[in-house]
Amino acid sequence: MTRNSKEKSIIGPLAGVMAVITIIAIFAVVIFRQTVAQQQKEQKVAQAMTEIKQEQEEEQHLYETLRLTGEFLQNAKEQFSARYLGPIENGFGKYYTLLTGDKEKDWMVDANIEVQMKEQGEMRETKWLSAGYQDLLGICMRLALVDAMYPKEKPFLVLDDPFVNLDEEKMAHGNELFGKISGEYQILYFTCHASRNIENTK
């Protein structure tokens, strides 16, 4: 066997081994990259899950806060209604009769301290009433609230053109009303029109 033939017999197998090693190395690199990519993906998923969990905890805390606040407000509303609803209703009725001359109880004050009026045999919200009548009900309700909240100490009242939407008949009743309540309250009354001046009928 010549020298060249010996070298060829050695190089041939070595080349095959090197080719196998190269292929294995390539597969190892591919697998390594896939492993790293998978680990990065898993880390991102884990981070996202952690953030979602934190958001859920924050939302749960907010929900509990809102729930407790709602319960507190509901209890406060019930206590307020239990304490003041009767006096407010009585006061509203007194002022409503003075302003309208209507002694029929075709109204009610509900648990939300909102006035409802009877229309076609049913109690309804007052938004269907005229602007003037809504103003009238608002005046009665505000005075009733003052009576209920200050049964002993009478504060002074500041009224800024409260009769702007009332007709002449209701305005006359308003004049009578202020003449009567001026014996209990000091009233600061402002108006921008002489037709709505209040005479001293005390």
State how far the Cα of 72 lies from the Cα of 90, in Å rounded to an integer.
Answer: 27
Structure tokens at 41: 């993906």
Structure tokens at 50: 């952690």
Q: 186 and 157 in contact (C-beta within 8 Å)?
A: yes
Question: Mean pLDDT, the chain, as a whole number?
Answer: 80
In 10 A of CB 149, how many CB atoms? 14
Question: Regarding predicted confidence, which is higher, 198 or 115?
Answer: 115
Q: 137 and 115 in contact (C-beta within 8 Å)?
A: yes
Question: Regarding predicted confidence, which is higher, 120 or 4?
Answer: 120
14 has pLDDT over 70: no
Q: In whole angstroms, how far apart are CA 132 and each of 43, 103, 139, 162, 171?
A: 68, 19, 11, 10, 10
Express each pLDDT in 161-171 by its tens digit: 777 777 777 77
Residues in the chain: 202
Residue 120, judged by CB atoms within 10 A of its CB (0-12, 13-18, 19+), counts as exposed
Q: What is the mean pLDDT of residues 90-105?
A: 84
* Max Cα-Cα span within the chain: 144
Q: Which residues contact 200 (CB under 8 A, 6 or more apart)?
A: 179, 182
9 has pLDDT over 80: no
Q: What is the mean pLDDT of residues 2-16?
A: 56
Structure tokens at 170: 């209701």
pTM of the complete model? 0.57
Identify the band that residue 200 occupies on the pLDDT scale cut at 50, 70 and 90: very low
Express each pLDDT in 108-134 by its tens digit: 888 778 888 887 778 888 888 888 888
